[in-house]
Structure 1
Amino acid sequence: MHIEVVYGAPVTPVRCRLNLPMGSTVGDAVRACGLLEQYPEINLNRNRVGIFGRLVSQAAPLRDGDRVEIYRPLQADPKEARRRRAASARKRAMA
């Protein structure tokens, strides 16, 4: 079956196309594409994975045509970032 693995690397996104046997899992695809060796910052205990934007476990079975996505960890807590933006906007409004 034809599978695509993508990783949003910091500089440029990376795409890897594979042919895997039926019954392969998301984890199999990630290991088979070689991105773990190319990008040592990928840690499958920390980085989440998904299929077409939907979070799945590494044990999730694949279907022909699936796109496996490796997500990078968030750089900032979204709630904290919003608080900072709101505080900054309040300061500008008062000035």
Structure 2
Amino acid sequence: MRVTVVWASAPRTVREVTLDLPDGATVAQALAHTGWGLGPIDAGPDGLAASIWGRRACPDTPLREGDRLELTRPLRVDPKVARRERFQRQGARAAGLFARTPKR
């Protein structure tokens, strides 16, 4: 079966490889076949996480033909906090979504 493995090793850097694996291969076996030398997945908040088509997967999850196995790095900043800080830096330059428009 053919499986695609994608890993964003750094910002704006994506590695992708298509593997031919035997039927019933698992996520861990697919990672071993990539040759990337990655550590264990799901190793807590500082480790890599695996997902199949965007849904979280464990190392012993079996893969199917045509699956896309994605490896993700942990977030360094909470997206809500980053958005709040970005808004404070740029200020309220433009009117918001529910701002009143002046009557003509």
TM-score (norm. length: structure 1) = 0.77
Residue 85 of structure 1: CA displacement?
A: 2.5
Query: When the two structures are aligned, how many residues end up with a matched partner?
Result: 88
Larger radius of gyration: 2
Q: Does 1:3 align with 2:3?
A: yes
2:79 and 2:58 map into 1 onto residues whose CA distance is: 23
Residue 22 of structure 1: CA displacement?
A: 1.1
**Cross-structure match for 1:17:** 18
TM-score (norm. length: structure 2) = 0.71
Gaps of 5+ in 2: 93-104
Gaps of 5+ in 1: none
- Identity, % of aligned positions: 38
The C-alpha deviation readout for 1:74-93, integer Å capped at 9, x for no partner, is: 1211232133124335xx34
| C-alpha RMSD of the superposition | 2.1
**Cross-structure match for 2:82:** 81
1:78 and 1:43 map into 2 onto residues whose CA distance is: 25
